[in-house]
Amino acid sequence: MSSVKKVVLAYSGGLDTSVILKWLKDEYQCEVVTFTADIGQGEELEPAREKAKKFGVKEIFIDDLREEFVRDFVFPMFRANTIYEGEYLLGTSIARPLIAKRLIEIAKATGADAISHGATGKGNDQVRFELGAYALNPEIKIIAPWREWDLLSREKLLAYAEKNGIPVEMKHKAGGSPYSMDANLLHISYEGRHLEDPAAEPEEDMWRWTVSPEQAPDAAEYIELTYENGDPVALNGQRLSPATMLAELNRLGGKHGIGRLDLVENRYVGMKSRGCYETPGGTIMLRAHRAIESITLDREVAHLKDDLMPRYASLIYNGYWWAPERVALQGLIDNTQASVNGWVRVKLYKGNVIVVGRDSKTDSLFDPTIATFEDDKGAYNQADAGGFIKLNALRLRIAAKRKHR
Coil, strand, or helix at residue 340? coil
Q: Of 71, 180, 262, 290, which residue is the catalytic one?
A: 180
CA distance 165 to 304: 57
* 384 counts as catalytic: no
Rg (CA), the chain: 25
**Rounded alpha-carbon distances, angstroms, from residue 339 to 79, 227, 302:** 12, 10, 12
Strands (E), 117-253: 141-143, 180-183, 188-191, 221-228, 231-235, 238-239
Nearest residue to 208 (alpha-carbon basis) of 130, 134, 151, 260: 260
**CA–CA separation, 357 and 392 (whole Å):** 34
- In angstroms, the CA 95 to CA 321 distance is 10
Among the residues of 30-73, which ranges form H helices?
Answer: 46-54, 66-69
Q: How far apart are the first and last CA of the chain?
A: 78
Identify whether 16 is a catalytic site residue: yes
Give the contacts of 320 (CB within 8 A, at least 6 positions apart). Answer: 131, 326
Vertex 38: Cα angle to 71 and 46 (nearest 5): 160
18 is catalytic: no
H or E segment to which residue 31 belongs: strand 31-38
Q: Which one is catalytic: 18, 66, 93, 96?
A: 96
Sheet containing 260-266, strands listed edge to edge, beginning at the edge strand earlier in sequence: 180-183, 188-191, 272-278, 260-266
Please classify residue 272 by burial: count the beta carbons closer than 10 Å to its beta carbon, then call 0-12 exposed, 13-18 middle and 19+ buried.
exposed
Residues 183, 39: Cα–Cα separation, whole Å: 8
Q: What is the DSSP letter of 28?
A: H
Question: Does the annotation mark 125 as catalytic?
Answer: yes
Q: Which of 79, 102, 125, 128 is catalytic?
A: 125
Residues known to be catalytic: 16, 96, 125, 180
